[in-house]
Amino acid sequence: MKKLSSFIVAMIPAGIALNWVANSIVEMLKLPLFLNNIGTVLNAIVLGPVWGAATALMTNVILALIVRWTYLPFALVGMFVAFLAYFFYKKGWFKKTWKVLIAGGIVGLLASVLSTIISVYAFGGFSGHTVDVLTAGMIASGQEIFNAAFIANIPGTVADKVLTLWIVWVILRSFPVRFLPNAKDIREKIGMNNTKKNKDKKISA
């Protein structure tokens, strides 16, 4: 319990920092992505979905205070992503690269729905992100505001969540997970136990 508490104290700020740095790069380059959920998903897996959701909430509060206030309602999306990513992780979808990518696509589609609802009903479809340009184009082509925002949101959000889950998967497979409090579970759920068994077989052969 003490070890887990120490990891929570260390991982929450680290997760927020990871979200912040990735999001800052996206903002600076004006990319149609977000990448502010990498630390969220990582903490959801390492600490549990509640702590992942807490990471998302605190990240968006900080972004709302420093970057622009429209980030605040989208904390709900980050919290939703934390629970979805944890669900796929527990179901074994982090064992293979292709499963990670498919899980990211599903998370992205579901996150797009929630993002669109928030964007339309809180900001009239325009929240100050690069995706607003696509939304405006869709409206100009005759689409209703909700359809326009949703269609504009899908490519960037799906790509963002696929990339996010893949990055977290790479981090977990590269990081010495034996130091984590749930190391055994992580090894099993990301397929590292199978890798170790295969290596042992080759050595014994």
Residue 195 maps to a domain: no
56-67 pLDDT tens trace: 999 999 999 998
**Alpha-carbon span 146 to 95, nearest angstrom:** 36
In three-state form (DSSP H/G/I as H, E/B as E, the rest C), the secondary structure along the chain is CHHHHHHHHHHHHHHHHHHHHHHHHHHHHCCCCCCCCHHHHHHHHHCCHHHHHHHHHHHHHHHHHHCCHHHCCCHHHHHHHHHHHHHHHHCCCCCCHHHHHHHHHHHHHHHHHHHHHHHHHHHCCCCCCCHHHHHHHHHHCCCCHHHHHHHHHHHHHHHHHHHHHHHHHHHHHHCCHHHCCCHHHHHHHCCHHHHHHHHHHHHHC
Residue 134 has which token pair?
Answer: 């696509």
In a domain, 196, yes or no: no
| pLDDT greater than 60 at residue 195 | no
24 lies in some domain: yes
Q: Is residue 198 part of a domain?
A: no
Q: What's the CATH number where 126 sits?
A: 1.10.1760
Number of domains in the chain: 1
Q: What pLDDT does 194 receive?
A: 57
CB contact at 8 A, 38 and 168: yes
Torsion of CA 156, 158, 164, 166, to 10 degrees: -130
pLDDT at residue number 204: 43
Domain that holds residue 74: 2-184
Query: Residue 103: pLDDT above 60?
Result: yes
Q: Is 199 inside a domain boundary?
A: no
pTM given for the model = 0.88
Task: Decide if 201 is inside a domain.
Answer: no
Does residue 193 form part of some domain? no
- In-domain check, residue 202: no
Q: At what angle do helices 97-123 and 145-174 cross, to 10 degrees?
A: 140
Highest mean pLDDT among 60-74, 121-135, 177-191: 60-74
